[in-house]
Chain A
């Protein structure tokens, strides 16, 4: 009983301290959080309208039945999978410069997965029937439906990316060495699991013979390659910010190593894209219509053409920035490269992937799709929510990692009280 009360008191103290940490910060921090909260509020209001009218409030239609939400979902699953790119060097190869930041990277993966799941949830027509998808309670169509696999994979990955960092953080909070025998299997399993979540998402599209644009075996490798470009690029940018606003020591070495890995991933991405383009244009069957729509325009419809060419340019430039050591090892060009990769891969993998799958539709119709204001606001809202969650997690995790926020403080307080 005494033990229980003790632990409850400790938990409450921890809770209060985290709230303290989260509520106190610099002016920039407040501005950032307020901005994010504003976007979240606006997004939520727009979502309520969509929940009321139905998906009629968006610009999606029977011909293009997936739009901005699923585009963002695809991109974010890739970003989440990229956390594994940090896990492998640090835990498997014990590359010291990265070791401290792995936890932060995994928390980023968790926020990414939350955003991905939220995007699917806002895309569902009947969110109130979500329980139909829960295994055993509902009627989950496992193993036939890839969406069922995706639900399981994403939730499992989310669980892993909460369990591992939280476990390690709590251990660091108590200034104890983690029990590697317990946690290492989870860490090791998260590596193939990260590959799995993105493969399952790719297979989701891949297994549809009705859509020749997606029915290509090259899809899963392409997804992984582009994921390993965009995710680490986001991580590089985020960690420079973290380095600036906190006491976390991050060597440039770590960032440059990650950038090198991005270079290889980008080469693979461009090579696979090149293979697809060759196959479609050389075979020149009618199934290349979707490619034609994307890169040239089809029957006068060419909304996506400038976007995809911009993305191609960005990817190629970024590839060279990451490849050449002098540009890779200079922070200004490195950051430029990261921005180019993030935006370029978003275009290529988001709208540049989901929408051409529907153009032309199975009966040959061509309908273009532009997201409307509601979809944009809801998407911004979800991105803001993910960033806010990540920010708050960082606000608590970083002090623990750097040793500022530990249990010893509580122990000091308790002993001080006892002495009084």
Chain B
């Protein structure tokens, strides 16, 4: 009887440890859901039945709208996306993480930015910083396209009117 109780307690504690290990880290930063393209997730709905081709190549027939311009000479798709489970991302040491924790993957190369993001000083700020509301965090992917992260130049808003311009003068 004592042995059974001990075993159950041990299993219970182990379970809690594992559960916290997997989901506890993602609760550190409350982020909104990752910005997935419509109808894409879960990726395993297609990939579970497909053969895994680990050969580094340029994708021509599949995912035609994704152009990789992100250290493409050094890495390719399966360096970040886990080959066996396409619903997860892959860290450098092989550990798989959820898309909701994508910042851990980006932070591996972009350590300084990751540090700043954790402190709250990198990236867009909206909502409340104090008071009744909560501070919102954005995932890296909310602003930076992971496949083509460089910001495209945008059209600026109009310059101020000079005092002598007709809209501004009498």
| Pair A56/B170 contact, Cβ less than 8 Å | yes
Task: Indicate if A52 sits at the interface (CB-CB under 8 A).
Answer: no
Contact check, A61 vs B170: say whether CB atoms are below 8 A apart: no
Main secondary structure of the interface of B (DSSP, over half): loop
Within 8 A of B (CB), among A30-71: 53, 56-57, 61-63
Asked if residues B170 and A367 are in contact (CB atoms below 8 Å), the reply is: no
Asked if B39 is at the interface (CB within 8 A of a chain A CB), the reply is no
Interface string of B130-170 (1 = CB under 8 A from A): 00000000000000000000000000000000110000001
B43 to chain A, nearest CB (A): 52
Instruction: Give the residues in chain A near B170, CB-CB below 8 Å.
Output: 53, 56-57
Give the complex CA separation of A62 and B170 in angstroms. 15
Q: Hey, which chain A residues are within 8 Å of B162, CB to CB?
A: 367
Q: Which single member of A53, A57, A367 contacts B163 (CB below 8 Å)?
A: A367
Smallest CB separation, A370 vs chain B (Å): 10
Interface size class of B (residues with CB under 8 A): under 10
- Chain A: how many interface residues by the 8 Å CB criterion? 7
Which residues from chain B contact A63 at a C-beta distance below 8 Å? 163
Taken together as a complex, chains A and B put the C-alpha atoms of A61 and B168 apart, in Å, by 10
| Chain B min CB distance to A55 (Å) | 11
Complex Cα distance, B163 from A282, in Å, reads: 34
CB distance from A297 to the nearest CB of B (A): 18
Bound complex: CA of A56 vs CA of B170, how far in Å?
7
Least CB separation from B162: chain A residue: A367
Give Cα distance in the complex from A80 to B170, angstroms. 35
In the bound complex, residues from chain B placing their C-beta under 8 Å from that of A56 are 170
Chain B residue numbers with a CB within 8 Å of A53 are 170
What residues of B have a CB within 8 angstroms of the CB of A62 in the complex?
A: 163
Give Cα distance in the complex from A271 to B162, angstroms: 39
> How many angstroms between the C-alpha atoms of A53 and B170 in the bound complex?
10
CA distance A149 to B162 in the complex (A): 35
Q: Which of A348-367 contact B (CB under 8 A)?
A: 367
- Measured CB to CB, the closest approach of chain A to B122, in angstroms, equals 28
CA A367 – CA B164 in complex, angstroms?
A: 9
Which residues from A are CB-within-8-Å of B163? Answer: 61-63, 367
Q: How near does chain A come to B104, taking the closest CB pair, in angstroms? A: 43
Output the nearest chain A residue to B168 by Cβ-Cβ distance.
A61
Q: In the complex the two chains form, what is the Cα distance from A62 to B161 in whole Å?
A: 12
Inter-chain CA distance A376–B112, complex, in Å, is 61
Note all chain B residues with C-beta closer than 8 A to A367. Answer: 162-163
The complex places the Cα of A61 from the Cα of B163 at a distance, in Å, of 6
> How long is the Cα–Cα vector from A56 to B168 in the complex, in angstroms?
10
**CA gap between A367 and B160 in the complex, in Å:** 14
| Complex Cα–Cα for A343 and B162 (A) | 32
Identify the interface centre among A57, A61, A62, A63: most chain B CB within 10 Å of its CB.
Answer: A61
- In the docked arrangement, what's the CA distance between A62 and B163, Å? 8
Residues of A participating in the B interface, judged by any CB pair closer than 8 Å: 53, 56-57, 61-63, 367
- Extra inter-chain contacts (5) besides given A53-B170, A56-B170, A62-B163, CB under 8 Å: A57-B170, A61-B163, A63-B163, A367-B162, A367-B163
8 A-B pairs within 8 Å (CB atoms) are namely A53-B170, A56-B170, A57-B170, A61-B163, A62-B163, A63-B163, A367-B162, A367-B163
